[in-house]
Structure 1
Amino acid sequence: MTVSLEYTDSGGQGEPLVIVHGLLGSADNWRSHVKQWSGERRVIALDLRNHGRSPHAEGMDYDQMAEDVAAVMDRCGVTRGHLLGHSMGGKVVMTLARLHPELVASLIVADIAPVAYEHRHDSVFSALRRVEQGEPTDRREADALMAEVIDDKPTRMFLATNLVRDDDRVLRLRVNLDAIEAGYGQIMAPPGGEGSIDVPTLVLRGSRSDYVADDLLESLRAVLPRAEVKTLDAGHWLHTERAQEFQEQVAEFLASLDD
């Protein structure tokens, strides 16, 4: 069943840029990018199911999530757009391009390849469960709980974007962690659909990330034969670590398609 996702829409004419966040992210993580790009074009940023402000629902497979995004495009009157996806969101937009090629003018894929990955988020889930069980009332306390299993401060700061206060002033998770953990095997699987995707494609990868390592480029190009691969001096969260460069690369790519 399709989930009615929450989204922001800058408004404007022409083929929009549709932004799809990664695992445990949200549209909020992209606000500065939306502000930058909306000066040139319409930008839609959405919260996937079980993330951000969107409804909670069972199932995290890529066909389901791609249909959710297609429904947002339909609600916004978008018949064709440029799709940007980071990590899990990159697999979502690849799936959408396979299932509904008529909707996709181009793809921008940030630090993900169309392959299955090993499980790698045990510490992340453990950290969030500690916050859930500890019921912190301030962010310092929440950070201390996550620090019991995650040393990396930027990772903890990213995870903290999923915390909101309830009526009792307790910080609660707004993500549906139960559904995400139950669907984790689906999240780590390859994108849905079949065949290669014949649209202009920009792949941005981080030099300090192994998500799009050199040995995965053959598999990537089998699915994205028109991919232009560029490497930023960053880890997996390259859109935050190298925000300005990331924005410039995306703007340059889209401008080349407008010529």
Structure 2
Amino acid sequence: MLLNYKQTGTGPDLILMHGLFGSLENLNVIAKALSEHFTVYNVDLRNHGQSFHSSDMNYLHMGNDIKALIDHLNIDKAHVVGHSMGGKVAMQFASMFEECVNKLVVLDIAPVVYPPRHDEIIAGLNKVSEQANVLNRAHADTILSDHIEMPGVRQFLLKSLAKTTTGELAWRFNLPGIADNYAHIVANIDNNQPCLCDTLFIKGNNSDYILPEHREAIVTAFPKSSAKVIHGAGHWLHAEKPAAVNKSILDFLQ
């Protein structure tokens, strides 16, 4: 099965991938800027957005999903950009199919194992799913607030709450599939040898997803990598500082 995607722009090919619980819509601010210079394929990863649902979800599967998509699109080589979980998918794809990657950009994630940090989010999302007759997003927000304190995080998640064909509100992402595979999502990528493609890691200065102790893992996995720090931004750096993030990506790719 092929991933859902949105194609915009003209020029060299570029694959763009969102993070956990997101969709291609979350990266529209990047896609719009990059589409002035590239043919951008903004994708919904498996179990997200309008892409297929699956009980299997790990980075090997997701890297192969991207390969299937570029084969379908007759793309021999592309720039690859990913945020958070999408950054790990991008790293996995580059590690498996280095010959298909021009340059790699990873937004605020490292090739390491992370401790669980989404337990309360999953609990809140499940609570919404279990609630009969959720009236609207405001109602769902009230339910989520018992588990998720930050309004910005709740608003991000609520973008994936949509009406089904029967008129009920439900999550677009496959919540059971994600929850069952959460250990695979926080795991490291599966790479047996260094990837030698030119790589840029972009970190939000206020984020704890890339830390000094991750440097060795980054350099070992991606020896030809450099780093850029976006000041005044956290993990959702593209939403907080879009101009700075887009300029960093464009400067590197061009």
Q: Which TM-score band applies after superposition, normalised by the shorter structure?
A: over 0.9
| 1:44-83 matched pairs, under 5 angstroms | 44-83=41-80
The AA in structure 2 aligned to 1:106 is K
The AA in structure 1 aligned to 2:247 is E
Match of 2:210 among 209, 212, 218: 212
Unaligned runs of 5+ in 1: none
Is 2:136 the partner of 1:138? Answer: yes
Q: 1:52 aligns to what SS in structure 2?
A: coil
Q: Is the 8 A contact 1:235 1:241 kept in 2?
A: yes
- After the TM superposition, list the runs of 4 or more consecutive aligned residues in structure 1 that deviate by more than 6 angstroms: none
- Residue in 2 that maps onto 1:246: 245
Could you give the per-residue CA deviations for residues 203-238 of structure 1, whole angstroms, max 9, x where no partner exists?
001111111011111211111112111111211111
Q: Is the 8 A contact 2:9 2:37 kept in 1?
A: no
Alpha-carbon distance, 1:11 to partner: 5.0
Alpha-carbon distance, 1:89 to partner: 1.0
Q: 1:13 to 1:251 in 2, by over 3 A?
A: closer
Alpha-carbon distance, 1:168 to partner: 4.5
Q: 1:155 aligns to what SS in structure 2?
A: helix
Find the aligned partners of 2:98 and 2:166 in 1 and give their Cα distance. 47
Alpha-carbon distance, 1:32 to partner: 2.4
Could you give the per-residue CA deviations for residues 49-80 of structure 1, whole angstroms, max 9, x where no partner exists?
10000010121111100000111111111100
Q: Give the alignment's TM-score, normalised by structure 1.
A: 0.94
Match of 1:9 among 7, 10, 35: 7
Could you give the per-residue CA deviations for residues 78-120 of structure 1, whole angstroms, max 9, x where no partner exists?
1000100111111111111111111111110011110111111
Q: 1:64 aligns to what SS in structure 2?
A: helix
Find the aligned partners of 1:121 and 1:78 in 2 and give their Cα distance. 35
Match of 1:103 among 97, 100, 105: 100
- Residue in 1 that maps onto 2:161: 163
- Residue in 2 that maps onto 1:177: 175
The AA in structure 1 aligned to 2:155 is M
Q: 1:119 aligns to what SS in structure 2?
A: coil
Q: Is the 8 A contact 1:137 1:169 kept in 2?
A: no
Find the aligned partners of 1:200 and 1:168 in 2 and give their Cα distance. 48
- Residue in 2 that maps onto 1:26: 23
Q: What percent of counterpart residues are identical?
A: 35
Q: Is the 8 A contact 1:163 1:171 kept in 2?
A: yes
Q: Is the 8 A contact 1:63 1:193 kept in 2?
A: no
Find the aligned partners of 2:155 and 2:240 in 1 and give their Cα distance. 13
Q: 1:231 aligns to what SS in structure 2?
A: strand
Find the aligned partners of 1:73 and 1:11 in 2 and give their Cα distance. 16
Q: 1:22 aligns to what SS in structure 2?
A: coil
Q: 1:137 aligns to what SS in structure 2?
A: coil
Find the aligned partners of 2:10 and 2:241 in 1 and give their Cα distance. 27
Match of 2:125 among 124, 128, 143: 128
Alpha-carbon distance, 1:166 to partner: 2.2
Alpha-carbon distance, 1:154 to partner: 0.6
Count of residues in correspondence between the two structures: 252
Is 2:135 the partner of 1:118? Answer: no
The AA in structure 2 aligned to 1:22 is G
Alpha-carbon distance, 1:193 to partner: 2.6
